[in-house]
Amino acid sequence: MLLIVAGLVQHGATAGGEPTYVVTRRPDDVHLPDAWELPGGKVELGEAPARALVRELDEELGVAVEPPEPLTFCHHHYDDREILLLFYRTRTRAGADPRPREAKELRLLTRAELCELEMPAANAGLIALLANP
């Protein structure tokens, strides 16, 4: 089973003040190619999950973030793998500007827009949580 972390990363807001969140599109050469997802990645052996998320966000987006707070989790079986996905909430630090270093695309979306995206099945519980705050 793979241990994966993902961040609901707040970055900026709409003109009306509604928070926006970072979503990225997976590259073509990885599991679930072209899917939209929250940024994150695998937890390495001996690494604390929150620390892994901070590392992954720096690697994938080039940003420093506030300390992550646990949000929810999901245990999911895909045809070719089993994952335990830990979701955290965080925000970028002042002056950070996320860039899609490893992803095909990056968008900043409101909570409602994020809930309308087609995301991998393992994200269903998170989307349900976000849809009903």
Say which residues have a Cβ less than 8 Å from residue 104's Cβ, sequence separation at least 6: 24, 25, 26, 27, 28, 34
Q: Is residue 53 part of a domain?
A: yes
Could you tell me whether strands 82-91 and 2-13 are parallel, antiparallel, or unpaired per DSSP bridges?
Answer: parallel
Query: What are the strands, taking DSSP E only, across the chain?
Result: 2-13, 19-25, 36-37, 40-42, 69-77, 82-91, 105-109
The per-residue pLDDT for range 23-54, each reduced to its tens digit, is: 999 988 777 778 899 999 999 999 999 999 99
| 114 within a domain of the structure (yes/no) | no
Amino acid found at 30 = V
CATH number for the domain harbouring residue 24: 3.90.79.10
Domain containing 70: what range?
2-38+46-109
72 domain residue, yes or no = yes
Q: Give residue-wise pLDDT tens across range 104-130.
A: 999 999 999 999 998 998 999 999 999
Looking at every residue in the chain, the average pLDDT score rounds to 94
3-state secondary structure of 48: coil
- Percentage with pLDDT > 70 across the chain: 99
